[in-house]
Amino acid sequence: MGQKQPIQILYQDKRILICLKPPGVVSVDQPGGLPDLLRRQLGGKGECLRTIHRLDQPVGGVMVLARSREAARRLSQQVENRGFRKEYLAVLTGSPEQETGTLRDLLGYDKRIRRAYVAPERDREVREAILHYRVLDTVSGHALVGVELETGRTHQIRVQFAARGLPLVGDGKYGGPPLAMEGIALWSHRLAFHHPQTGERMSFSAPPPAGEPWSWLAGRKEADGARNHRRRSNMEIRQERREDWDAVYCLVRKAFSSAEQSDGNEQDLVSALRESQSFIPELSLVAVDGEQIVGHILFTRVTVGGAQALALAPLSVLPEKQGKGIGLALIREGHRIAGQLGYGYSIVLGHAGYYPKAGYQPASRYGIRAPFHVPDGNFMAVKLSDQAPKVEGVVQYDAAFGIGDSQGK
């Protein structure tokens, strides 16, 4: 493709450059590729620009490139450790049955025909693929969805939706209808990562281009979704501090004040767990909107058949802030940190309709059992790493939970 317009640069310093990749341009460093075009635009043939992550050729949107070998190494580590957050917008042919959900598949890639596929079982060339989506708007048989990738497989978003009869508009490779404009209806909307030199958490976002198919979906839901997205982009999730304790106590009490299955003591459980041997400071997280703490999550150590795992309890969001994605954002950040700390599994006792959105499934599928009687669908677990070794047995909770050998509170 002949690139006539300058590539839009959102930010640059001595270590990184963030830009909008035009649809039709390849991400890799080759003649006419994104690094090559940027070098020409910047006027320096010897400019160091290294690709850290890729967007498929027909996909446009936000990308970051490293400007030194060390910056590339540190950013690549974040990609590997899932500390690199990637969010997309896509227009689907059809609409998912659920407004929010998690798609999990085993994906392979056939290099001969350059096409990904859903595989029935694992082998050396097949890897797990996980994404989370939210429907932002629907119109005339199409859906605008926000997508957050937990893994980064070749053609992942395209093939996972196509496998469910929801191909992306313009994506003929996977059965999507044709699109008048160049590219397909998939846009890299937001990136968040830690600066490779300063460690500062950085976030960059950009809306998709004007015109079809994005112009089809300009109704109230999209506007509300965009506002919510901006608000969540400004929300900070960080480790809880000592000075947060009083605010967290009040938040947890309010969050569970009208919960059906609550005993009213969740705020005291948090206080007790902080003083226990199972407490992990890095996994007591708060969500802060402006100067207000609006959410809290706590993961503590448990054992399963002698192996260490995590228990998620409790998860708390202010009542007036519920339904805005804060809880799922806390869970996913907790999972990311837990994976970096080397934990392989997280276990939760909770609502069977909510926690599967974050990848949880009945713990019995992993051979993990509760130390009390509970419906199978409410006692769940998630595997935090593909490399996590198999565990099985009865979960042993910290004494602070007040759970005996055969039943809990």
Any idea which residues carry the catalytic annotation? 56
- Token code pair at residue 325: 């994605």
Closest CA to 392 of 364, 363, 367: 367
- Tell me the three state secondary structure of residue 205: strand
Q: Give the N- to C-terminal CA distance of the chain in Å, as an integer.
A: 64
Q: Using CA atoms, how far apart are residues 107 and 102, in angstroms rounded to an integer? A: 15
DSSP designation for 99? S
- Tell me the three state secondary structure of residue 87: strand
- Token code pair at residue 150: 């937990």
Q: Using CA atoms, how far apart are residues 143 and 125, in angstroms rounded to an integer? A: 32
Continuous H helices in 196-290: 220-234, 245-255, 266-274
SS (H, E, C) 158-200: HHHHHCCCCCECCCHHHCCCCCCCCCCCEEEEEEEEECCCCCC
Q: Using CA atoms, how far apart are residues 130 and 156, in angstroms rounded to an integer? A: 9
Q: Is the peptide bond before 314 cis (omega within 30 degrees of 0)?
A: yes
Q: Which residue has the tokens 């998860």?
A: 315
Closest CA to 383 of 102, 167, 19: 102
